[in-house]
Amino acid sequence: MAQATRERAVLDTLADGAFHSGEDLARAIGTSRAAVWKIVRGLQARGFDVHSVRGRGYRLGSAVEWLDAAAIRAALPGDAVDSIDTIDVLPSVDSTNTWLTARAKAGAPAGAVCLAEAQSAGRGRSGRHWHSPAGANLYLSLLWRFGFAPAQLSGLSLAVGVAVVHALERFGVADIGLKWPNDVVAGGRKLGGVLLEFGGESGGPCHVVIGIGINLHMPASAVTAIDQPWTDLATLGGGAVSRNRLAAMLIGELAATCRRFADSGFAAFAAEWQRYDIAMGQAVRLSWPGHAVEGVARGVDATGAVLLEAGGTCRSFAVGELSLRLAT
């Protein structure tokens, strides 16, 4: 049995969150207790929350539904089935966006999807670290190709935010909002984020890798590594959410959004974005390297740029390295 197969067998056995002795694990995967110990150490080193207690054995910090490509494909909405090419589920990766970007450059088709149980170098905007503990949340990237120039994709990140909200609402998650340009929030705390990375010719065609991170059940051990107010679906309540079903719903919403955006651009999503915009009418601070400006947020323009009213004048600011913070 290959090492990766042994690791998956151990994880599958521990998925119930109960203790399993080293002897039982060894018997289940046909190896020695010493080999099981080495496998567990390797999993711990990659961020899996495996606990070892003398006399009781091994267990995960909590029960986990591991990601499964076949289960995700089976749960795809009907209108997404023909749009999705490959679904790769990785036990651990530096970043699903980085992994899929490399395959995009190698010619991977639109509809390629990558998910990972853990990321060692997950990224948000401006290179910020996205904390990615194993098995706790959802880390997903989708590749899509467009027949026009990257400049025509202005506002796509906002449209993707709307797609994420739609997927979460289907699971009964209420009172979700969007904070320009790419934060998914609930109760004023960050629940998820969006990261788009573009490639291709300046005049077209082009491609985009859409990265999504959603907090589902953040382990206590991860809290100290997060430097901003956050929440997860477990905290919001509403019962357990199937990671595979949520992944399928997100993929379906993203595919539908990309098809719709290719036909109609951001105009097709502007009204929905405004409905979820938590900053509308609020005092905010926009900052970028060496600069900052304060005012009242007035939504977004036709390209997805944020509108800020200050000193009696309303100006638009494009995404770039901008950061928006509510004044309260």
Q: pLDDT tens across 45-63, in order?
A: 877 888 899 889 999 887 8
Tell me: the pLDDT tens digits for 24-40?
899 888 889 999 999 99
User: Is 190 one of the annotated binding-site residues?
Assistant: yes
The phi and psi torsions of 32 (rounded to 5 degrees) equal -95, 165
Q: Is the pLDDT of residue 203 over 80?
A: yes
Tell me: the pLDDT tens digits for 216-263?
987 666 655 566 788 999 888 756 789 999 999 999 999 999 999 999
Q: Is the pLDDT of residue 108 over 90?
A: yes
CA-wise closest residue to 266 among 160, 169, 181: 160
Just list the catalytic residues.
Answer: 125, 190, 325
Q: Is the pLDDT of residue 2 over 60?
A: yes
CA-wise closest residue to 59 among 135, 128, 113, 3: 135
pLDDT at 128: 58
CA–centroid distance for 5 within its chain? 26
Tell me: the pLDDT tens digits for 259-289?
999 999 999 999 999 999 999 999 999 998 8
CB contact at 8 A, 130 and 156: no
Higher pLDDT, 228 or 147: 147
pLDDT at 222: 60
Q: What residue spans in the chain does CATH classification 2.30.30.100 cover?
A: 279-326
Q: What residue spans in the chain does CATH classification 1.10.10.10 cover?
A: 3-60
CA-wise closest residue to 208 among 256, 153, 161, 263: 153
User: Is 125 one of the annotated binding-site residues?
Assistant: yes
What topology is assigned to 3-60 in CATH? Arc Repressor Mutant, subunit A (1.10.10)
The phi and psi torsions of 8 (rounded to 5 degrees) equal -65, -35
Question: Which residue spans within the chain are E strands per DSSP?
Answer: 50-53, 57-60, 87-90, 113-116, 138-146, 176-179, 183-186, 189-200, 206-214, 283-288, 291-300, 306-310, 313-317, 323-326
CATH of 279-326, one of 3.40.50.300, 2.30.30.100, 2.40.50.100, 3.60.15.10: 2.30.30.100
Rounded Cα gap, residues 48 and 25, in angstroms: 17
pLDDT, mean of residues 104-131: 81
pLDDT at 225: 57
Question: What's the mean pLDDT when you consider all of the chain?
Answer: 89
User: Is 123 one of the annotated binding-site residues?
Assistant: yes
Comparing 22-26, 140-144, 146-150, 254-258, which segment has the lowest mean pLDDT? Answer: 22-26
Tell me: the pLDDT tens digits for 285-319?
999 888 999 999 999 999 999 999 998 899 999 87
User: Is 137 one of the annotated binding-site residues?
Assistant: no
pLDDT, mean of residues 81-106: 95
pLDDT at 127: 52
Higher pLDDT, 130 or 195: 195
pLDDT at 224: 57
CATH class of 69-274: alpha beta
User: Is 97 one of the annotated binding-site residues?
Assistant: yes
Q: What residue spans in the chain does CATH classification 3.30.930.10 cover?
A: 69-274
**DSSP SS3 for 195:** strand
Higher pLDDT, 122 or 322: 322
- Residue 33, token pair as written in the block: 């207790």
